[in-house]
Amino acid sequence: MSALAGALPGAAPVAASRPGRLAALIPLAAALSAVALVAATGTTQRSLDAAGFGQWAYGFFADRYPLFFPAIAYGIVRAALLPLAAPNWRGWLGACLGLTLVTGLSLHPTYGGLVLRAGFSVGGVAFLSGQPMAVAQGLGAVAAAFVLGFALGFAALVARGLPRRGARGRALVRALLRFAALAWALGLLAVARDVGLSGFPRLVLSGDQAALALGLVLAAFLPHVTLDLVRPRASVESTSGRR
């Protein structure tokens, strides 16, 4: 359930004010800002290596999936925002768990972590077993989303608690939608190299490439964000609600 909770704080919906809903845009802004910062500073593998980040600058996954770093920024910020939705000790605990899990699963042992390794392994096996490339890529995206979704979904459940018994069916549907949206996001980001970002991060992200990258990130995560913006009013069986 935590993985299906889809990678979003908000697996268990709560009554949200308009400002609270608009806060869902912050992770998207963080992902877009990460791309803009990389482009503006001319970040490359060489500059990252010189700064002591060589472990996350080189390797197969850095070359094959150059646009995964905005997904890391997106996940980290979503986890960090949990205390806004659950302003108590559970919210802070969930945020700490989320930050630890997202960072570890995305960057250990190197760039991509278990998230991209799971996706590549599942997709590779599917392709070698005779599945069409599109199907293999889709299965890989689902596997990667499961790992990243577990990190954020588990943190959200710790922070916000389970939905009320009568609302669990609706919460499950929304969790499945969030999971599907996350799989879409990771699947779209995975094709970045094939559609024009093949030189990055060995080379500087050019102006045209930066525009392409920003467009891909926006298209990737907008469905995920939209689910928060349109979420229905509901309550959650939290610690305070059970007392």
DSSP 162: E
The tens-digit pLDDT sequence of the chain (243 residues) is: 444 444 444 443 433 455 567 788 999 999 999 999 999 999 999 999 999 888 888 889 999 999 999 999 999 999 999 998 888 999 999 999 999 999 999 999 999 999 999 999 999 999 999 999 999 999 999 999 999 999 999 999 999 888 777 777 888 898 899 999 999 999 999 999 999 898 899 999 999 999 999 999 999 999 999 998 886 554 333 334 443
For residue 95, the model assigns a pLDDT of 96
Among 210, 160, 161, 152, smallest CA distance to 182 is for 152
- Give the DSSP letter of residue 174: H
CB 213 within 8 A of CB 35: yes
DSSP notation for 3-56: TTTTT-TTSS-----HHHHHTTHHHHHHHHHHHHHHHHHT--HHHHHHTT-GGG
Which residues have CB under 8 Å from 101's CB, separation 6+?
79, 150, 151, 152, 154, 155
pLDDT for residue 238? 38
pTM of the prediction?
Answer: 0.86
Position 112 scores a pLDDT of 95
* Cα–Cα dist 195/66, whole Å: 12
pLDDT at 231: 64
Alpha-carbon span 123 to 140, nearest angstrom: 4
Find the radius of gyration of the CA atoms of the chain: 18
